Amino acid sequence: MERTLVLVKPDAMQRGLAGEIISRLERRGLKIVAMKMIQMDAALAKRHYAIHRGKPFFEKLVAYITSAPIIAAVFEGPRAVDVARKTMGETDPAGAAAGTIRGDLSVEIGRNLVHGSDSPENAEEEIELFFSPQEVISYEREIDRWIIES
């Protein structure tokens, strides 16, 4: 089963939208298998966003993601990476479809509320940055057979 890293970003926490965001992913059918609240430091932020190093928005991105506490979580399910990103909507909220987290609740790319891994490979690396193996818990839910066909 696929896993993806989700970050409820500082703006979402400050705006009291953590429950709403987690709820949308949960109601979609994805299963929470790890979760913690932390405040990211610059070192972690630069590792997490290493691919964007050197881009014009990099410093602001690091400042934003470290500016207040976040919730880091791992969600699991069939095609969890794509399912989570579709639920979040496009990176730039101005272009994100209504019905998505970003499309419904945000307006600017620098305050887009949430992070989701962009591939299963990157998800595995990102999960390792935030969680030890023991912190990611495999468990069964009785409801799963009503969400996942087999």
Footprint of ligand DAT (CB under 6 A)? 52, 57, 61, 91, 109-110, 112, 115, 118
Query: What character string, x for contact with Mg ion (CB under 5 A) and - otherwise, covers 61-100?
Result: ----------------------------------------
Site for Mg ion in 97-136 (CB under 5 A): 118
Tell me how far, at minimum, the Cβ of 136 lies from ligand DAT, in Å: 21
115 has catalytic annotation: yes
Q: Looking at 7, 10, 115, 130, which residue is catalytic?
A: 115
Nearest to 34 by CA among 141, 135, 105: 135
Q: Which residues are catalytic?
A: 115
